[in-house]
């Protein structure tokens, strides 16, 4: 089995999401697709991985508990000083106190200009910046060698 990313596991060219591995039916289905030898190996690998990571997982859980406790203690201290937590959050995260705006957020990025123009499946004229996933009409035209990317350039 190969890790493809933190949320998926690849097995026999089939990608399995971690959320599915947490469900008994999904694990049973996976095990039924394996030979007994591979299923036992899978069990051993999972057990070994758990044993190797258990203390680290528990330590991380303890850190979260300690952090939560510290935050609650700070909140109680602020209340004792007459500071409303909502007001503090408005100052930290942006917002207003009374009529005074408080901002700490970064300015939003300018929208990227479109570089390509194409017609979608419905015949509507659309644009694409060249960022992100390539629109299907452009991709299918390029894959079938009917056009080049330059043909769509604005």
Owner of token pair 């999972």: 46
Q: What is the pLDDT of residues 5-16, one digit of tens each?
A: 444 555 444 556
Whether the Cβ atoms of residue 17 and residue 8 lie closer than 8 Å to each other: yes
Cα atoms in the Cβ-side hemisphere of radius 13 Å centred on 13: 0
Whether the Cβ atoms of residue 121 and residue 135 lie closer than 8 Å to each other: no
DSSP secondary structure of 6-40: TTEEEETTEEEEHHHHTSHHHHHHHHHTS-HHHHH
Per-residue confidence band for 116, with pLDDT thresholds at 50, 70 and 90: very high
Q: What is the pLDDT of residues 52-103, one digit of tens each?
A: 889 898 999 999 999 999 988 988 888 888 888 777 777 776 666 666 665 5
Question: What CATH code is assigned to 116-152?
Answer: 4.10.430
Q: How many other CB atoms sit within 10 Å of the CB of residue 124?
A: 8
- Name the residue ranges covered by the structural domains of the chain: 2-58, 116-152
């Amino acid at each position: 089995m190969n890790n493809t990313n933190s949320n998926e596991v690849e097995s026999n060219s089939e990608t399995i999401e971690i959320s599915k591995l947490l469900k008994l039916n999904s694990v049973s289905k996976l095990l039924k697709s394996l030979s007994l030898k591979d299923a036992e190996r899978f069990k051993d690998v999972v057990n070994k991985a758990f044993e190797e990571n258990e203390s680290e997982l528990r330590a991380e859980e303890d850190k979260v508990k300690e952090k939560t406790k510290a935050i609650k203690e700070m909140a109680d201290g602020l209340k004792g000083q007459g500071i409303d937590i909502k007001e503090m959050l408005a100052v930290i995260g942006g917002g207003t106190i009374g009529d005074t705006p408080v901002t700490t957020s970064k300015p939003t990025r300018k929208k990227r200009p479109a570089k390509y123009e194409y017609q979608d499946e419905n015949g509507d004229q659309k644009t694409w910046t060249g960022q992100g996933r390539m629109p299907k009409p452009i991709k299918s035209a390029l894959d079938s060698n009917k056009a080049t990317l330059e043909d769509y350039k604005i």
